[in-house]
Structure 1
Amino acid sequence: MTAPIKVILVDDHAIVRAGFRMLLSTEDSIEVIAETDRGEAAWQLYVDHRPDVMVMDLSMPGIGGLESIRRICNKDSNAKILAFSVHDEMLYVNRAMNAGAKGYISKNSAPSILIEAIQKIAMGGLYIEAAFLKDNGDQTPETDYKAIIESLSAREFDVFLLLAKGFTGHKIAEELCLGYKTVANYGTQIRSKLKVSSVAELAHIAIVSGVMKS
């Protein structure tokens, strides 16, 4: 029997944590092993329990969710954190993903979305709620994405995929045996060609162009 996915909940509202804990208890593949109401306590809980996925609210007293995500991911680049928030603007998605989160969902999303997101992130994927991935009028059409991606050099494509998966520049340098500055230059070129500025946007393009599953 496969071991359940170990989850830590971080939210300053006890009733929200209780609701999520009750929801996740209905799923045999997921087990909530700890929870806290403060970002300041999240790192110690992470060290003590080594969860498969940490579910992090963004709006909390103290250092807040974004800074908590940043601190944990700076200390452990393999940390898998799902950001969830009342904010449904792309700005927050971008900030959370740039801080190191592996996914983002809205607190207004269907209960099944939380379970799906946790399972996907635990398997090493990224998860951005579909509502945030809908094209709007000023975005490049999907066909253009494909054409640009096809024009990338082999090394640019490698870097693009790893960036889209949420790898940091240092992690990509290690993975591809390149210098960090070289990776940074590739990243700049790729973002320029695709006319984006964030990890979330790269993940979006990778998903809608079919080179990475959502």
Structure 2
Amino acid sequence: MAMERLKVNPAKVNDRPFYHVVKRLFDIVASACGLILLSPLFLFLVIKIRSEDGGPAFYSQERIGKNEKPFKMWKFRSMIVDADKMLDKLEDQNEIDGAMFKIKDDPRITKIGHVIRKYSLDELPQLWNVLIGDMSLVGPRPPLPSEVEEYTDYDKQRLTVMPGCTGLWQVTRRSEADFDEMVWLDIVYINHSGVFEDFKLIVKTVLVMIHPNGAY
């Protein structure tokens, strides 16, 4: 995919107080309602994850948010305990070019992990991150600190806004996108973001969760 080099429009980041207020209010209401309504599903997944290997159901990891501010992001654990310690042995199998790591048949993923990752259920605890203001429902995915260390100034443009649980590349290319395409799609989103655009991406995300488009 040939991609032109894009620049984030500063006005889209700093000069729209109405949009940012509405976005934050929606994030608070939607994440609070989601945590309450999905609590039976949370309990079911906690039991399933813990019953497979006895490890913790939740997993937290340091991520980089808006303006390169670090925060702790929460997920349902989909990999074996201490999976991070195996990363060095798998780096030569990375299937994505650039500052990102992903392999299709990752041996660290548990049986229940394959299921919850396919339907993006492992991401649901991030509703807590949205509620407390670390993340938004819609925005660029927050990268690892090690990934940001490899970022160019161009790549860092995706860190000028609040990171999100879902975004443009997740509902279009998802696991098929390489790093450069992900950055490009994030910048496209930032430059075209708005209340209606965010709502469309949330609806598309729900549809993708029902009919997965190739997550792994």
Q: Identify the TM-score tier after normalising by the shorter chain.
A: under 0.3
Higher RCO (C-alpha 8 Å, min separation 6): 2
TM-score (norm 2): 0.26
TM-score (norm 1): 0.26
Structure having the larger proportion of residues in strand: 1
